[in-house]
Structure 1
């Protein structure tokens, strides 16, 4: 096992731990569903360590949170979040580390892609659960209620990635010259 793989595994574990702790703080002040605290470490994991690590972090973190804290409830919310966060982590890493998009572009596209996955998963799982779910509920939850969290993510995540790269805690993606 090489040094970078170990660093990526440790970083992913740290992101998972943050994904368990941050929601506890935000929910304590009643701001969990508004600021989307579990999303931040998952997206950060993908951007910092790559799509595979972001995918695993996105699947495991809401599952562990559900098992350890009861939040989110495993079905349908937790299962939906597993798909949504897996998409965020995987897309962020793929777009930033593999396709070499700018960190802001990779972040915004992954946020949109994750929300599309969330809408599809919610339609399926809420339907199976016999709960009401439709396009207006999707828009309200994914964009209106979540707007403060979206703004926070767009501000804080790129700054964290750039700071970690400049301090050489994580490697900068290899950019292809034109």
Structure 2
């Protein structure tokens, strides 16, 4: 049933599509931060531009919404590991937390992609709602992982308060995602019609 964008059902794409989408998203999630860091260095901003604009998050969220939860989890889990192996970034203590956080973003974006909303909800708002759900769920999973690391493992490099600090620092990146993701997903919907 494909009557309107808001009520369309989203069956999972083929395994081939999911695999290709995940591979391309991992490449983008590794390359985009490097591009942003180079731009930051050229502008004299250092690495703060990457922390502010969250370039690794965008491909993970998009692949979850486009290709489903399997591609989203795979991208979210692999991107920080591959990025660290190739570039040394993110810093080693951050890698496990980024794996958990980004895998959660990909999972929840993929799960929410199939949620049907009333036809009265415009497509861009529907995609924004799904994106916000994935972002909130990913941050909650990240906060839980940090709380476990702090309380059980004695990890003092991370604190639960650092989740809130990351949200504040990354607010421009969140706004960028709130604009780009609904626009991209609405364009994809139009091409599917």
The answer to whether TM tops 0.5 is yes
Which of 8, 13, 16 is the aligned partner of 2:18?
8
Say whether the 8 Å CA contact 1:92–1:106 is kept in structure 2. Answer: yes
Q: Which of 23, 34, 40 is the aligned partner of 2:52?
A: 34
2:129 is matched with: 105
Report the equivalent of 2:182. 158
Query: 2:18·2:70 contact (CA, 8 Å) conserved in 1?
Result: no
Which one of the candidate residues 36, 46, 50 is aligned to 2:64? 46
Q: Distance in 1 between matches of 2:99 and 2:88?
A: 14
Superposition pairs for residues 49-60 of structure 1, below 5 Å?
49-60=67-78
Cα deviation, 1:139-175, whole Å, max 9, x if unaligned, reads 111x21110011011100111112123223xxx8xxx
Root-mean-square deviation (Å) = 1.9
Distance across 2 between alignment mates of 1:130 and 1:94: 31
Structure 2: 5+ residue runs without aligned partners? 1-12, 41-46, 118-125
Preserved contact between residue 21 and residue 71 of structure 2 (Cα < 8 Å): no
Instruction: Structure 1: state its 5+ residue gaps.
Output: 173-178
Aligned partner of 2:164 among 104, 122, 139? 139
How far 1:66 sits from its partner (Å)?
A: 1.0
Residues 109 and 148 (structure 1), Cα distance of their counterparts in 2 relative to 1, 3 Å cut: same
2:84 aligns with 66
d(CA) in 1 for partners of 2:106 and 2:17?
17
Structure 1 residue 129, shift from structure 2 partner: 6.2
Do structure 1's residue 21 and structure 2's residue 31 form an aligned pair?
A: yes
